Chains A and B, each alone.
Chain A
Amino acid sequence: MSLSPEQVIKIANLARIAIDTQAIPRYAENLSDILAFVEQMNRVDTSGILPMAHPLEAVARCRTDEVTETDHREQFQCIAPQVEAGLYLVPKVIE
């Protein structure tokens, strides 16, 4: 499995990661090496095998539906890059 520069650009876009144009061939090479290494999986017939999602087959625990958390908005927002009047600021989305 070898990735083309176009595929690398597409993956980077899906992952929301900006990468330098000069770095694309290097990413293509590294990612292709990793995918080639991973190809070994295909030697094994896994038909009928149940995928293993959790080591101990545990299922998500439920709790009673009651309020347990208190308001920490100010505390959480004081580490945000940009806030105003209790709101997180980002560049304008709608003109």
Chain B
Amino acid sequence: MHTQSIPQISAALQQGQLSSVELTQHYLNRIERYNPQLNAFITVTDELALAQAQAADKYLKNGTAGPLTGIPFAHKDIFCTQGLLTSCASKMLANFIAPYNATIVEKCQVAGLVILGKTNMDEFAMGSSNETSYYGPVKNPWDLQAVPGGSSGGSASAVSARLTPGATGTDTGGSIRQPSALCGITGLKPTYGLVSRYGMIAFASSLDQGGPMAHSAEEVAWLLNAIAGFDPRDSTSLEREPVDYSAQLNNNLQGLKIGLPKEYFGEGLDPAVDTLIQTALQELEQAGAELHSIELPNTPLAVPIYYIIASAECSSNLSRYDGVRYGYRCEEPQDLMDLYQRSRGEGFGAEVKRRIMIGTYALSAGYYDAYYLKAQQIRRLISNDFAQAFQKVDIIAGPTSPTPAFNLGEKFNDPVKMYLSDVYTIPVNLAGLPALSLPVGLIQQRPVGLQLIGNYFGEPKLLNVAHQYQQRTHWHQLTPTHF
């Protein structure tokens, strides 16, 4: 049952071969059995899931069901879920029961998806390995010694081990794509503004974007149909005509121009990853695409400026956690300053504190021009590089991550080394473009992802290319051996 794709499950539900309650119970059983090894879920919502599944079965019987009705699903614990713990994997919010639903959660409910639980993540989405979670690290189902990537590592691990057919993630510098690559699944970071940020706990507001994670591009397209769209409650949400993201999946790739940035294939790229990426590109070439060499010359500056921009925005966004209105409060504060300082000092983990402090420094009097302003200027250069590239090519392709999954603990004590694992994903967020990661092979049983980057609102094209690749290969259908 759990090896079926979302369209296959949907058909079985619609035809009455399977009930949502049976399906949901099956996934809950798998979570109970495998989650202790993986730590992919922070909260499992058994009762709510079964109640939603019962309701879904009614809709399926009376003919009012949509294509996603009754399909189990999970949300990253960064999305507010009314009446449920929404911890953002932080001690700061370990007692936070959200008083309202994020728009993405509401939209999934309207679509009839059944919530299995909330997935683990790096604290406040700050991390590339899922090791900064207050609830402990998540394991990669392909190899329990390996990290699942981050920050949406719980979602990636859960989908990969088939504890849920799909999940939401968020991507500020690669947090959907990098864990998707490391866990061997398909994940999409949409164009900035396509999916509402309302009720998504803010990290870096000019970069954050929610998106779907599943096994295949076709499933991602189905899920994107449910979650994309204008939301008046998010001031950066874009007003656009609705698009059917699955409509173009079957277009042929004849004459499609794929750009290969030489900066994405240079120093730092694991040669074994390079080999698998080249093989995947040949597959696309055989499907009719043309490969062109391109340049994105400002790529090396993306990671440094990201750590100024993201940290500055995080220091501002996270100033709301003051121990007064909700969240963690220290014991017996002496005065107001002590209340603020100890609540924040005790409530935040080490990486979050590092980033708040870098951001505070970059925004402090006398340093603004040298850091934040300078970084925003270079951000435009990076965006211009992409704009020039898209005059010549339809999409851009390269590795999602320079290496397969690294071991737990391997980079944990060296922040800069950790940051460099996002070197190919960060430029996309800075420019606000859509990008997708899909599995293209294994190196010693650890998955490798191919990243496809599109122009603004190029999601249908990205999903089309990924789907055509997946029609010719089986990597997206693999399940890790012990699950």
Query: A residues bordering B, Cβ < 8 Å?
Result: 3, 8, 11-19, 27, 30-31, 33-35, 37-42, 44, 46, 49-56, 58, 60-61, 63, 72, 75-76, 79-82, 88, 90-93
Contact = CB atoms under 8 A, between A and B. Distances in A.
Given A17-B344, A88-B324, A55 B334 contact: no
Contacts of A13: 341
Nearest to A50: B380
Interface in B342-374: 342, 344-346, 348, 353-354, 356-358, 360-361, 364, 371, 373-374
A40 B300 contact: yes
A46 B206 contact: no
22 contacts: A14-B364, A15-B357, A16-B319, A18-B346, A38-B304, A38-B308, A40-B300, A40-B304, A41-B308, A44-B381, A51-B373, A52-B380, A55-B193, A56-B238, A60-B235, A79-B95, A82-B329, A90-B333, A91-B335, A91-B336, A93-B335, A93-B336
Contacts of A79: 95-97, 99, 326
SS class, residues of chain B in contact with chain A: helix
Nearest to B416: A37
Contact of A58 (B238, B379, B419): B238
A17 B353 contact: yes
Interface of B: 95-97, 99, 191-193, 206, 232, 235-236, 238, 298, 300-301, 303-305, 307-308, 315, 319, 322-327, 329, 333-342, 344-346, 348, 353-354, 356-358, 360-361, 364, 371, 373-381, 383, 415-416, 419, 430-433, 456
Contacts of A49: 377-378, 380-381
B356 A27 contact: no
Given A15-B357, A17-B348, A41-B301, 14 more contacts: A14-B364, A16-B337, A31-B357, A41-B305, A42-B374, A44-B378, A52-B376, A53-B206, A53-B376, A56-B192, A76-B325, A79-B97, A91-B339, A92-B335
Contacts of A90: 324, 333, 336, 339
Contacts of A91: 333-336, 338-339
A18 B364 contact: no
**Main secondary structure on A side of the interface with B:** loop
Contacts of A88: 324-325
A50 B324 contact: no
Contacts of A72: 99
Given A16-B340, A38-B304, A79-B99, A51 B324 contact: no
Contacts of B308: 38, 41
Contacts of B356: 15, 17
Contacts of B235: 60-61
Given A55-B432, A91-B334, A63 B232 contact: yes
A32 B415 CA distance: 11
A34 B354 contact: yes
A37 B357 contact: no
A6 to B, nearest CB: 13
Contacts of B377: 46, 49-52
Nearest to B206: A54
Nearest to B431: A55
A4 B364 CA distance: 16
A39 B358 CA distance: 13
B99 A76 contact: yes
Specify which of B305, B334, B378 lies most central, judged by the most chain A CB atoms within 10 Å of its CB: B378
A65 to B, nearest CB: 14
Nearest to B376: A51
Contacts of B305: 38, 41
A95 to B, nearest CB: 10
Nearest to A76: B99
A16 B376 contact: no
A61 B357 CA distance: 31
B84 to A, nearest CB: 12
B354 A16 contact: no
Contacts of B336: 90-91, 93
B384 to A, nearest CB: 9
